Amino acid sequence: GNSVTQMEGPVTLSEEAFLTINCTYTATGYPSLFWYVQYPGEGLQLLLKATKADDKGSNKGFEATYRKETTSFHLEKGSVQVSDSAVYFCALTVLTANQFYFGTGTSLTVIP
C-alpha cells in the first residue's frame, strides 16, 4: 500500500539553527512527493514538491531531495527563522491511484 511516515515532534529550535524533518514513504508505482506547511490559524500550503527520483524541491530556503534508494524525502533548512514556526506535513500521491497520503505532521517552534 501507500503511506508516509514522518518524524514525530514537536521540534524546538533556536533561530538560525539547522533543521531536518525526516520523511520516509512506501508506495506502489511511482509517487510524487510533497511538503506542505500549515501556519497557525491558516490552511495547508504547498511548500515544495518533487515528481521523480533525484529531483530536489526547494522554496523559501527549504529543500528536500527525492531519494528512491532510501524511500525518503527529508526536509532541510540551513538557518530557521521564528516565522518558520508551523506544522509540516510530508505527503505523496500516485496519480494513477487518484489518492493523496499525508503524514501525521511535525510541529516546529523556532525561538529567538
Which residues of the chain form contacts with another protein (CB under 8 A)? 4, 32, 34, 36, 41-46, 49, 51, 89, 91, 93, 95, 98-100, 102-105
**Considering the complex, what minimum distance in angstroms separates the CB of residue 102 from another protein?**
3
**Strand-pair category, 106-111 with 11-14:** parallel
Dist. CA 50–CA 45, nearest whole Å: 15
Q: How many residues does the chain have?
A: 112
Least Å distance, CB 78 to another protein, is 25
Nearer to another protein by Cβ, of 20 and 104: the residue is 104
Could you give the CA distance from residue 80 to residue 61 in angstroms, rounded to a whole number?
9
